[in-house]
């Protein structure tokens, strides 16, 4: 996975096409029951759409800080800034810019599967949460490929093309629970969600995938291979066409947990 593949066009495309992430981000935020006056950290905030939504929930007495490792996306997020919403460059693995016990809520929406050093990120999140603070995240399920990714993998196999290395590092439900518990979190709850997206056509689907992966999706393919893939994929996905567009499912694991309110507590 390379952060260097992002571009101004990809960042702008993500701002336009990230409705799927925004919608399941709203599901995550609802599960965290974020309310007025709370201090919230949005990790991997992208262009800041969900952060702006959460800023409305916390109101003028609250604060949302949205960080992302991609400066071009932070630039777009900063255009949404207001007194209770700030965007910065940063990574989940290093939250040294924040004090310990600073936030009521930390969430990662479509982010955790990109993080290589998950234990380190969780230790940092634990540190910056207040005692009793809440963590929420969602992540790709390694045992259930999104329909788009599954069809792409099948096409690679049928055409004898070496599949690109997986840019994400997903963990399954059991591994996620173990990681959260090892980091000290309690009241860990995980659940599977099936999400349904509609894309106007294959070109918009591929563009969404590229912008969502900041250029990593299919980046190793030649132009000829990308064109061939696009044409085969268009035929393959035609049975999924509905009046609302191509109907495709994605599969995510959602998790919520708390930092213990009292040191050494468990549950």
234 pLDDT above the threshold of 90: yes
Residue 104 dihedral angles phi and psi, to the nearest 5° = -80, -35
Reported as a single tens digit per residue, the pLDDT across 45-78 is 999 999 999 999 999 999 999 999 999 999 999 9
For residue 143, what are the contacts with CB-CB under 8 A and spacing of at least 6?
Answer: 172
In this structure, what token pair is assigned to residue 54? Answer: 């959460």
pLDDT confidence of residue 136? 99
Higher pLDDT, 240 or 156: 240
> Each residue of 19-30: pLDDT tens digit?
999 999 999 999
Q: Which residues pair with 67 in a beta bridge?
A: 43, 88
pLDDT-wise least confident of 144-153, 174-183, 240-249: 144-153
In whole angstroms, how large is the CA radius of gyration of the chain? 19
Cα 107 to its chain centre, rounded Å, is 10
Q: How many CB atoms lie within 10 A of CB 219?
A: 15
Domains along the chain with CATH numbers = 3-145+167-198+251-258 (3.40.50.150)
pLDDT, position 213: 87
Q: What is the spatial distance between Cα 266 and Cα 255, in angstroms, rounded to a whole number? A: 17
Average pLDDT over residues 191-211: 93
Note the pTM of the prediction, 2 decimals: 0.93
Q: What is the pLDDT of residues 86-119, one digit of tens each?
A: 999 999 999 999 999 999 999 999 999 999 999 9
Structure tokens at 92: 């989940």
Beta carbons of 71 and 7 less than 8 angstroms apart: no
Res 165 pLDDT > 70: no
| pLDDT reported for residue 31 | 98
- State in Å, rounded, how far the first CA of the chain is from the last one: 36
Q: Report the C-alpha gap between 58 and 50 in whole angstroms.
A: 13
Share of the chain above pLDDT 70, in %: 95
CB 183 within 8 A of CB 126: yes
pLDDT at residue 266 in the model:
54
Amino acid 128: pLDDT: 99
Q: What is the largest CA-CA distance in the chain?
A: 59
Assigned token pair, 116:
């290589």
> In which band, very low, low, confident or very high, does the pLDDT at 264 lie, cut at 50, 70 and 90?
low
Q: How far apart are CA 17 and CA 241, in angstroms?
A: 19
């Amino acid at each position: 996975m390379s952060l260097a593949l992002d571009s101004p066009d990809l960042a702008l495309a993500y701002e336009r096409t990230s409705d799927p992430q925004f919608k399941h981000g709203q599901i995550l935020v609802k599960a965290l029951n974020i309310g007025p006056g709370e201090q919230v950290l949005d990790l991997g905030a992208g262009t800041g759409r969900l952060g702006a939504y959460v800023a409305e929930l916390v109101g003028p007495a609250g604060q949302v800080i949205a960080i992302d490792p991609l400066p071009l996306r932070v630039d777009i997020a900063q255009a949404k800034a207001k007194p209770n919403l700030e965007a910065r460059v940063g990574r989940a693995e290093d939250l040294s810019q924040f004090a310990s016990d600073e936030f009521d809520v930390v969430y990662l929406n479509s982010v955790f599967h990109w993080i290589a050093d998950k234990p380190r990120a969780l230790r940092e999140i634990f540190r910056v949460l207040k005692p009793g603070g809440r963590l929420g995240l969602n992540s790709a399920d390694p045992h259930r490929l999104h329909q788009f990714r599954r069809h792409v993998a099948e096409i690679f196999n049928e055409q004898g093309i070496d599949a690109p290395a997986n840019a994400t590092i997903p963990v399954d439900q059991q591994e996620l629970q173990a990681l959260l518990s090892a980091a000290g979190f309690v009241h860990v709850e995980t659940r599977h969600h099936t999400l349904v997206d509609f894309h106007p056509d294959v070109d918009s689907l591929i563009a969404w995938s590229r912008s969502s992966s900041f250029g990593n999706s299919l980046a190793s393919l030649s132009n000829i291979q990308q064109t061939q893939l696009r044409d085969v994929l268009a035929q393959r996905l035609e049975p999924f066409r509905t009046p609302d567009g191509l109907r495709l499912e994605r599969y995510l694991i959602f998790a919520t947990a708390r930092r213990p309110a009292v040191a050494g507590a468990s549950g």
